[in-house]
Amino acid sequence: MNIVNRIDLLPMDIQEKIYKYYWSKVYSKVIEEFKKPFEVNEKVLLFVKRHINSIVENHILYYYKQLNNLIKTIVEDKGQLFICKKCKLQIFWSSDDWQVKHPRLKDDYKYITPIILALSRDLRYQTFEKILNYN
């Protein structure tokens, strides 16, 4: 006798509580997947806007790599990328269609570079040159 058959032998109110608990866990995982692009987008924009004056300084490289990896996980998942596109999130700029393709651009900054360039306003060229020169 498997677990579902055993649950079916229980009184109806207990069955209802068990199934409600089970499905709440399943749905919470799905909702977390839907929220992830929004959370990453907000985190990236908040960081870049907060550090707009020191956007190309060496002490921020560690954080760029972390944010780049977060964006990469979103962009590589087609479902989450679709959410970014439909909701017009800025991390959609990091998808393959929008990526900056330059031979000197390292993979550590490949996904975050379009966002940094878009938010750096008049200093785009200088910002891009500094990003290319990162070690």
Question: Do the domain assignments include residue 45?
Answer: yes
Whole-angstrom Cα distance, residue 54 to residue 26?
42
Angle at 53 between CA 47 and CA 55, to 5 degrees: 55
Give pLDDT, residue 71. 92
Residues listed for the chain? 135
The residue segments making up the domain with residue 57 are 33-132
Using CA atoms in the order 47, 44, 119, 78, what is the torsion angle rounded to 10 degrees?
170
Distance between CA 73 and CA 81 in Å, rounded? 10
**Residue 13 included in any domain:** no
Number of domains in the chain: 1
Which stretches in the chain have pLDDT values below 50? none
Q: Is residue 11 part of a domain?
A: no
For residues 74 and 82, is the Cβ–Cβ distance under 8 A? Answer: no
**62 within a domain of the structure (yes/no):** yes
